[in-house]
Amino acid sequence: MQEMVTESEIRDALTAVIDPELHRSIVELDMVREVKIGGNGVIDVTVSLTTAGCPIRGHFQKSVAEAVSALDGVAHVNVYFDVLDDAQKAALRQKLQRGSLPEGELAQVGSVLCIGSGKGGVGKSTLTANLAAALAAQGKRVGVLDADVWGYSIPRMYGLGAQRPPVSAARKIVPLQAQGVKVMSIGFFVEEDAAVVWRGPMLHKALTQFLQDVEWGPLDHLLIDLPPGTGDVSMTLAQLLPQSQFVIVTTPQPTAQKVARRSAEMARKLSLEIAGVIENMSGFTTPSGERFQIFGEGGGQSLADELDVPLLAKVPLTMPLREHADSGVPLVIEDPDDPAAQAIAHAARGLIAMTPATASAPSLPMLNVTEHAPAPAAVAAKPAGMSLPMA
């Protein structure tokens, strides 16, 4: 008969489970409340969270189950959660040697979705603007962060060209609003068409400010429009928001998938989850409803199958989608019956269905403020670029 696994072996295995927010193992953080070893190798582990609506609950669920299942003599792992009481939180703060647990404006955001693709021009920004408007139209509280600091296009898509966001009394930037969506973009702070050079520390600082110093308020979804490719911005965001998920945009032809796969690989490397794939420019639908497969067929589905994630939508090429992006009111608002608008609304419903209800429960701060922040820009060689206009 097989040896029974011991509690100390299980606790040992749990040292592999790291709190992405606090960068320490849940054992070291005294978050393993209880380990029960049942008959037939069934193990119950209870993990204490800092708050009930903790958005990284899924991460703990998965990592605890993985770590414990790997032990000999374990047949099944049940992961349960409870919440640290005030005294335990105080002890945790003591342990972390800081006055308070990290807090950011994003503490109140339910889900973060990064819209990415390996290459440019596949419709990331158009889909981001329309998806956000569709989510808002379905009653969700939504924000859009335009993280394409070089090629920002979100302001134009919401008709927010010439405005500048106000700064609140608390010295936070107040996002502009359009179609019920809170919008933030570097485009609000630079002269039109001005070339802005963003490099390492400056870029990091600007993105951090967008996440920390913007008064997002409670949101169900924050959509982040990524620049093309798999560069610095994605890396920085992944570091700041370890629980964000990726939505990969591809076009239908096989060569495009290869490129899109690269961003999927990057997401995996950064341990970010992939929520799904959207195939864009999926055939052309004429105003009379006739369909032509201009860019071929099937690419979105085969990428989704390969990544083992859902295909959230196939969005056809339609002239109105482009025209409305240019005119500043998303198509899903102006003409929800357009085939592209319908496909995007379908994707929005899919994303809602996949997102655990956040209710109004305050959640663990999302912002992953490291104790070892990068050297301040003043110490490093001063990069060309600009800072956002606040404290």
Ligand X SMILES: Nc1ncnc2c1ncn2[C@@H]1O[C@H](COP(=O)(O)OP(=O)(O)OP(=O)(O)O)[C@@H](O)[C@H]1O
Interaction partner, residue 247 (Mg ion, ligand X, none; CB < 5-8 Å by kind): none
CB neighbour burial string for 168-184, b if at least 16 within 10 angstroms, e if fewer: eeeebbbbbebbebbbb
38 binds, among Mg ion, ligand X, none (CB under 5 to 8 A by kind): none
Binding positions for ligand X, 199-228, rule CB under 6 A? 228
Q: Applying CB under 6 A, which part among 24-32, 123-131, 161-169, 213-221 lies near ligand X?
A: 123-131
Residue 24: which H helix or E strand, with range? strand 24-25
Tally the C-alpha atoms within 13 A of residue 148's C-alpha that lie toward its C-beta: 24
Q: Which DSSP helix (H) or strand (E) runs through 185? A: strand 181-185
Considering only CA atoms, which of 129, 114, 120 is closest in space to residue 151? 120
Residue (48 or 234) nearer to Mg ion, CB: 234
Is residue 156 part of the contact set for ligand X (CB under 6 A)?
A: no
Residues 124-153 that bind ligand X (CB under 6 A): 124-126, 148, 151, 153
Which one, 60 or 198, has the nearer CB to ligand X? 198
Q: Which two tokens stand for residue 391?
A: 């404290």
Q: Which two tokens stand for residue 348?
A: 């929005």
Angle at which helices 124-137 and 339-354 pack, to 10 degrees?
70
End-to-end CA distance of the chain: 66
- The residue (of 102 and 328) whose beta carbon lies closer to ligand X is 328
Site for Mg ion in 110-149 (CB under 5 A): 124-125
Closest separation in Å from C-beta 228 to ligand X: 4
CA 365 to chain CA centroid, Å, is 14
Which pair of structure tokens corresponds to residue 344?
């995007």
Contact with ligand X (CB under 6 A): which of 53, 104, 116, 123? Answer: 123
Q: Which tokens go with 293?
A: 């497969």
Contact positions with ligand X (CB under 6 A) in 313-342: 315, 317-318, 321-322, 325, 340
Write the binding mask 279 to 298 for ligand X: x where contact by CB under 6 A, - elsewhere.
-xx-----------------
Q: How far is the CB of 305 from Mg ion (least distance, A)?
A: 26
C-alpha to C-alpha distance for 27 and 11, rounded to whole angstroms: 7
Give the shortest CB-101-to-ligand X separation in angstroms: 36
Question: From the list ligand X, Mg ion, none, which binds 160 (C-beta under 5 to 8 Å, kind-based)?
Answer: none
The one among 38, 121, 166, 389 contacting ligand X by CB under 6 A: 121
Shortest reach from residue 276's CB to Mg ion, in Å: 19
295-322 burial: b if 16+ Cβ within 10 Å, else e: bebbbbbbbbeebebbbbbbbbbbebbe
**Closest approach of ligand X to the CB of residue 266, in Å:** 15
Task: List residues binding ligand X (CB under 6 A).
Answer: 120-126, 148, 151, 153, 228, 280-281, 315, 317-318, 321-322, 325, 340
Task: List residues binding Mg ion (CB under 5 A).
Answer: 124-125
